[in-house]
A and B are shown apart, each in its own frame.
Chain A
Amino acid sequence: MSASSTLPQPPATAEVVATLDIDLDERLNFTSDRIVLTPREIRHGERAWPLSTKLSLTHHDHAGVGTLELSDGERLLAAWRYTLGRNPAALKFEREFNRWKECLTSGKPPAEPAETKCPICQAPIPPDEEECPNCARELHTPPSTWVLLRLWRFAVPYKGMLFAGFLLTLAATAATLVPPYLTMPLMDDVLIPYQNGQPIDWAKVAWLLGGLLGAALLAWALGWARTYILALVSERIGADLRTTTYEHLLKLSLEYFGGKRTGDLMARIGSETDRINVFLSLHLLDFATDVLMIAMTAVILFSIHPWLALITLLPLPIIAWLIHIVRDKLRTGFEQIDRVWAEVTSVLADTIPGIRVVKAFAQEAREAQRFREANRHNLEVNDRLNRVWSLFAPTVGLLTEVGVLVVWVFGIWLIAKDTITVGVLTAFLAYISRFYTRLDSMSRIVSVTQKAAAGAKRIFDILDHVSSVPEPKTPAPLPPVKGGIEIDDVHFRYGNRAILRGVSLTIRPGEMIGLVGHSGSGKSTLVNLICRFYDVSEGAIRVEGVDLRNVPVAEWRRHIGLVLQEPFLFFGTIAENIAYGKPNATREEIVAAARAAHAHEFILKQPFGYDSLVGERGQSLSGGERQRISIARALLIDPKILILDEATSAVDTETEFEIQQALNNLIRGRTTIAIAHRLSTLRRADRLVVMDRGQIVEIGHHDELMEKQGHYWRLYMAQSKQLDAPPPLGAEEEAA
């Protein structure tokens, strides 16, 4: 078959039914190109392939590259490659192709395509777009750099107090500016006349000194009130920030946690919120006071003597310019320090829970080295920053010294010319000494602001993150759950790796499904999707006819009792752990659940029975004991759907049998999905579902599947062989 069509070229424009913009060429170099589907043919540049029933399009992807292949049943005609961002377009192209191919056989015009919905927000996608315009945009907009201003959101509830604090700041600052002003009459009207031979006017002295004392007392009282109120507010803002961030973090999907390190998240929520807090309560307050002080001082100085004021304020623009120069350097530096700091905590968060492995392999020295390395990195970054920073503060100091000197020179000259009095110069000097010390502390605000901004950015990184299993915008009420689950052509990928490929399964209410298959075949992944820890990439999971993505997440999960492959217990007592999903459970309920899970007896052996502590992550219990507690935990909430992912893998066969017995009573009336490698565990299952590399390969009852002599049979035989005699090394593979 020749590549270029012999048919007359159809009028192109109106007839195009689908296009695919491909962005990679044969050798995987970036290009931009387009293939076009018309009702009659597929075109790519000069080449065209007329539609025929023999043609078929298939797509697959690997390592972030999708491939769309066109073949005619005998050989490959063409292959197009694209990055996965184009995947929705490619799928649509394929759909359209199949739709039009079908009408070649049926002769009927194609049916209208079903309305497609965004897999993320469930909004219908306009027919001419492949991706949901809302969700595609969200991902790519970076947060604004004016992060600190965004903290305002947390300040709003305290507006009133903040305003009061501001007024107090204003008043307190004004009060501190009174004393230097009073030195002027003290000099000019009292001391200097006295030197010139006039007696001291004691009444006036008392009046002036009283004023000095009064101003000081007033400033003290106002300052106290202001600091107290604002510290109160900032502490609350800090706490709100911390809890809001944590609450948000808890709502994020497992996918988010998969990509994050515990130490990093802990650093963000712990120390960085605190840093912002200190910034708000201490530095920002100081800064506001400083600015007010400088503004007021400037006004006073100008009102006394404009020229001298001008000279006094001269270093100000120079300092502003300096600040501007170092600011950028500092900000990036502080961001880096934060990240390095997170690295240091991450090493700890990594090693301490794994301390048994570290010791077992005698790797203490290596771990210490890793920590030292992280610290060295920390030092390096800090050193670089300090080089800039250490120069900055003394420079500001020098400038202020020079400033004072200039004021002296100019002042003496003005006095010599009799333009100003000694009192004015004294007042000026009193003012600027305050003024410059403030300036010095003000320049420090640069570094703390940048630190806080870097911290704020990292916190808003969390807050801005939209969960990848979002709550539906318009949640559909979850109808009474009977336990049926409909899995409809589900595809799923972690990153760019396809894990599930077209899984369809309808689970009837009350049915027990045994899920078996090789390690890594996607069993736990399917369970994760049913629990909606992740959202499907394609297809849908429905309960009682409603798409899981349309119902409130928490409400759905309340119906699921889940026993995980790796049981996790929280620090606390055994009873608390069993009652985790139902904190108000009675003691009878707890004991009943523990009995059912065959945990009761070993719990009684613990020193305080149900009140014994389990240690962090349940360290003080054996693997099988932990599993039984987590079974009890799942049973206690009396779920409609029970999911047991290798729930009994770590207990001995006899105990497993006993748990089985107990479970049999409990399973009745509940939908149960049980995953097990020990196939004997699943003999009671109504249906066994065999998975292999992300697909369901066999469904049926034990006997049926044994008769078939397919995948299940091979798995089963391999195990029974194992039971009879330990197989030689490598036999496992053979059986696989």
Chain B
Amino acid sequence: MNFQLTRNAFGRLVLTTAEGAVHEGVVPVRAFALTAPEEDIALVSAEGKELVWLPTLEGLPEATRALIREELARREFMPEIRRIVAVSSFATPSTWTVDTDRGPTTLVLKSEDDIRRLKGPGSLLIADSQGIHYLIRDRRALDAASQKLLKRFL
């Protein structure tokens, strides 16, 4: 490993390269956020330049890995829908009440086109009116009631 990662008093990540260059406000970015989230992670400077490319997090010191994971968790927001409790209507815009891995919430689906099919079998990405993306990892794994509601929009 030829860089060092720390967190400063402002909560920003600071990267020091082997040559001694210091970059403040570094952010980790997943290159394939949906298809391979755990691999190919880039550390990007505040100006948007790639500093480090990590094909995998394996082999990094525990502290660095923890920092990266922490920062990713703090920046990423893609709640995973576990259950669709209710939908206000089958016509869009429709307000959905859902349970996610981040707790219960409501989202507004502006149109059916905001539901995007992902590569994996049955996995969907739903963009709500505020631009938040909700993930359904496998819609066939949802409970029957949720599936029935969801089907009306597919």
Residues of A at under 8 Å CB distance from B?
A: 23-24, 26-31, 62-65, 69, 71, 74-76, 79, 83-85, 139-145, 147, 259-261, 264, 332, 335-336, 339, 457, 461, 495-497, 693, 736
Q: Which of B75, B94, B130 contacts A142 (CB 8 A)?
A: B94
Q: Report chain B residues within 8 Å CB of A28.
A: 73-74, 76-77, 102
Q: Report chain A residues within 8 Å CB of B89.
A: 142, 145
12 A-B pairs within 8 Å (CB atoms) are namely A29-B103, A30-B105, A69-B11, A75-B10, A76-B10, A83-B132, A84-B132, A140-B93, A140-B95, A142-B94, A143-B91, A693-B47
State how many angstroms separate the Cβ of B149 from the closest Cβ of chain A: 11
Q: Which of B91, B94, B100, B114 contacts A259 (CB 8 A)?
A: B114
Residue of B nearest to A141 (CB): B93
State how many angstroms separate the Cβ of A301 from the closest Cβ of chain B: 40
Among B47, B103, B104, B111, max chain A CB count under 10 A is at B103
Residue of A nearest to B48 (CB): A693
Complex Cα spacing A336 to B153, Å: 8
Complex Cα spacing A497 to B113, Å: 19
The answer to whether A496 and B131 have CB atoms under 8 Å apart is yes
Q: Report chain A residues within 8 Å CB of B52.
A: none
Among B11, B88, B91, B154, max chain A CB count under 10 A is at B91
Complex Cα spacing A484 to B78, Å: 43
Complex Cα spacing A60 to B81, Å: 26
Complex Cα spacing A24 to B49, Å: 29
The answer to whether B154 and A30 have CB atoms under 8 Å apart is no
Residue of A nearest to B10 (CB): A76
Q: Report chain B residues within 8 Å CB of A62.
A: 75
Q: Which of A79, A140, A332 contacts B152 (CB 8 A)?
A: A332
The answer to whether A142 and B151 have CB atoms under 8 Å apart is no
> What are the interface flags for B45-87 relative to A under an 8 Å C-beta threshold, 1 for contact and 0 otherwise?
0011100000000000000000000000111111100000000
The answer to whether A496 and B9 have CB atoms under 8 Å apart is no
Complex Cα spacing A339 to B48, Å: 39
Q: Report chain A residues within 8 Å CB of B88.
A: 142
Asked if B32 is at the interface of the complex by the 8 Å CB criterion, the answer is no
Complex Cα spacing A547 to B115, Å: 35
Asked if B112 is at the interface of the complex by the 8 Å CB criterion, the answer is yes
> What are the interface flags for B123-154 relative to A under an 8 Å C-beta threshold, 1 for contact and 0 otherwise?
00001011111000000000000000001101
State how many angstroms separate the Cβ of B86 from the closest Cβ of chain A: 13
Q: Report chain A residues within 8 Å CB of B94.
A: 142
State how many angstroms separate the Cβ of B22 from the closest Cβ of chain A: 18
Chain B interface secondary structure, helix, strand, loop or mixed? loop
Q: Report chain A residues within 8 Å CB of B95.
A: 140
Complex Cα spacing A71 to B133, Å: 30
Asked if B92 is at the interface of the complex by the 8 Å CB criterion, the answer is yes
Q: Report chain B residues within 8 Å CB of A76.
A: 9-11
Q: Report chain A residues within 8 Å CB of B129.
A: 139-140
Complex Cα spacing A495 to B127, Å: 10
Asked if B90 is at the interface of the complex by the 8 Å CB criterion, the answer is yes
Q: Report chain A residues within 8 Å CB of B77.
A: 24, 28, 63-65
Asked if B43 is at the interface of the complex by the 8 Å CB criterion, the answer is no
Give how many A-B residue pairs fall within 8 Å (CB-CB): 98
Asked if B108 is at the interface of the complex by the 8 Å CB criterion, the answer is yes
State how many angstroms separate the Cβ of B150 from the closest Cβ of chain A: 12
State how many angstroms separate the Cβ of A138 from the closest Cβ of chain B: 9
The answer to whether B103 and A31 have CB atoms under 8 Å apart is yes
Complex Cα spacing A74 to B11, Å: 11
The answer to whether B108 and A139 have CB atoms under 8 Å apart is yes
Q: Report chain B residues within 8 Å CB of A145.
A: 89-91
Q: Report chain B residues within 8 Å CB of A63.
A: 75-78, 132-133
State how many angstroms separate the Cβ of B82 from the closest Cβ of chain A: 13
Complex Cα spacing A596 to B108, Å: 51
Known contacts A76-B10, A332-B152, A693-B47: A30-B103 contact under CB 8 Å: yes
State how many angstroms separate the Cβ of A498 from the closest Cβ of chain B: 11
Known contacts A75-B10, A332-B152, A693-B47: A84-B91 contact under CB 8 Å: no
Residue of B nearest to A518 (CB): B48
Q: Which of B9, B78, B93, B113 contacts A75 (CB 8 A)?
A: B9
The answer to whether A339 and B92 have CB atoms under 8 Å apart is no
State how many angstroms separate the Cβ of A435 from the closest Cβ of chain B: 35
The answer to whether B76 and A64 have CB atoms under 8 Å apart is no
Complex Cα spacing A332 to B130, Å: 27
Q: Report chain B residues within 8 Å CB of A85.
A: 130
Q: Which of A71, A259, A332 contacts B111 (CB 8 A)?
A: A259
Complex Cα spacing A31 to B105, Å: 9
Q: Which of B11, B105, B133, B154 contacts A79 (CB 8 A)?
A: B11
The answer to whether A30 and B102 have CB atoms under 8 Å apart is yes
Q: Report chain B residues within 8 Å CB of A142.
A: 88-89, 91-94
The answer to whether B130 and A83 have CB atoms under 8 Å apart is yes
Residue of A nearest to B133 (CB): A64
Complex Cα spacing A63 to B95, Å: 21
Complex Cα spacing A69 to B90, Å: 39
Residue of A nearest to B100 (CB): A30
Q: Report chain A residues within 8 Å CB of B132.
A: 63-65, 83-84, 496
The answer to whether A260 and B104 have CB atoms under 8 Å apart is no
The answer to whether A140 and B108 have CB atoms under 8 Å apart is yes
Known contacts A140-B93, A142-B88: A64-B130 contact under CB 8 Å: yes
Known contacts A142-B94, A145-B90; 9 further A-B pairs (Cβ under 8 A)? A28-B73, A63-B75, A63-B133, A75-B10, A84-B130, A139-B93, A141-B93, A143-B91, A693-B47
State how many angstroms separate the Cβ of B24 from the closest Cβ of chain A: 13
Residue of A nearest to B104 (CB): A30
Complex Cα spacing A430 to B61, Å: 91
Complex Cα spacing A145 to B90, Å: 8
State how many angstroms separate the Cβ of A623 from the closest Cβ of chain B: 29
Q: Report chain B residues within 8 Å CB of A496.
A: 130-132
Q: Report chain B residues within 8 Å CB of A29.
A: 102-103
Q: Report chain A residues within 8 Å CB of B90.
A: 145, 332
Complex Cα spacing A147 to B102, Å: 36
Counting from the closest, the 3 A-B pairs by CB-CB distance are: A496-B131, A75-B9, A30-B103
Residue of A nearest to B95 (CB): A140
Complex Cα spacing A339 to B100, Å: 27
Complex Cα spacing A736 to B113, Å: 37
State how many angstroms separate the Cβ of A348 from the closest Cβ of chain B: 17
Residue of A nearest to B132 (CB): A64
Residue of B nearest to A495 (CB): B131
Complex Cα spacing A140 to B93, Å: 6
Complex Cα spacing A469 to B52, Å: 41
Known contacts A65-B77, A83-B132, A139-B129: A261-B113 contact under CB 8 Å: yes
Residue of A nearest to B75 (CB): A62
Complex Cα spacing A140 to B92, Å: 9
State how many angstroms separate the Cβ of A370 from the closest Cβ of chain B: 13
State how many angstroms separate the Cβ of B51 from the closest Cβ of chain A: 12
Residue of A nearest to B105 (CB): A30
